[in-house]
Amino acid sequence: MTQVLLICIVGALLELDTTYAFQFTLSRGIIAGPLLSLITGDLMAGLQIGIFTELIFIDISPLGGLLPPSAAVCCTLSLALCSLGIPTYFAFFFGVIGSVLFSVCEVIVRKNRSQWLTRQEHIILKRPPYLSFVVVKALGISFTMTLAFLLFYSAVMGSSFARLLPFLPEKLHLASKFAYMAVPWIGLATLVSIFRLKTR
């Protein structure tokens, strides 16, 4: 459980890099996956989940107000579930579902943040140095909410699926492996169409 907690803390910090701070692309699947796998010790699982995450989300970009599922959240949840003993092909599926749910939660948070910020702006206009404090507070709130989501999802999904796992028929394992095997091919074909020359 300590390992899951550690993965979630690092994952929540990496998630800040997606939008709120720095944007050094440390939250990209191909970087976040291997980084998080340093905690689990299974470098290959981290690398594979990282690559698959990046390939599966490569066709959705954060344009305008669009909020794509977070690669950092997907890697964190997948590796947290892996460390709870769930096979990679199931963990990745729940990671993808979790990151889609997270983006829905994020939309709600951002809508509510508008109201919170309107109240903060009144204070900023009276005391301009308060602005830096609001930025730190916004980052702190984002980190806390992401961490809470990651912990809740990993705990609920991890414990319930781990109990279900021994009763799953072998056929379901085969089918899930089969779908998991398709991910790199879906992604690689997408890359070809992403580079279609439309400019100039």
Partner 1 sequence: MTRWMQFQLFWRSFFLQAGWNFAKYQNLGLAFVMTPFLRSVYKQDKNDLPSVLERYLESFNTQPMMASFCFGALARQEERMAQAKTLAEYRERLSEWNSLKRSLSITTASLGDRLFWGTLKPFTLLLALFIWLALNINFFEPTPQRGLSCLDVFGACIVVFFAFNAVALFVKWKGISLSYDAPNNGCFGLTQFDWNKTIYNTKLFGMLLALGLLLGGLYYFLHDLASFLGLQFITRAIIVLFFVSISLMTRDLRIPNMYLYIAAMLVFNIVYLF
Subset of 20-79 contacting partner 1 (CB under 8 A): 20-26, 28, 30-31, 34-35, 37, 42-48, 51-52, 54-65, 69
What minimum distance in Å lies between the beta carbon of 95 and partner 1? Answer: 11
- On whether the CB atoms of residues 37 and 47 are closer than 8 A, the answer is yes
- On whether the CB atoms of residues 51 and 33 are closer than 8 A, the answer is yes
Query: Is 192 an interacting residue with respect to partner 1 (CB under 8 A)?
Result: yes
- Residue ranges of alpha helices (H) inside the chain are 2-18, 29-40, 43-57, 71-83, 88-126, 130-164, 170-194
Q: Which stretch binds partner 1 (CB under 8 A): 7-15, 145-153, 157-165, 169-177?
A: 169-177
Query: Is 2 an interacting residue with respect to partner 1 (CB under 8 A)?
Result: no
- On whether the CB atoms of residues 54 and 30 are closer than 8 A, the answer is yes
What is residue 62's three-state secondary structure? coil
Site residues (CB under 8 A) for partner 1, limited to 96-135: 96-97, 100, 107, 110-111, 113-114, 117-118, 120-121, 124-126, 128, 131-132, 134-135
What minimum distance in Å lies between the beta carbon of 2 and partner 1? Answer: 22
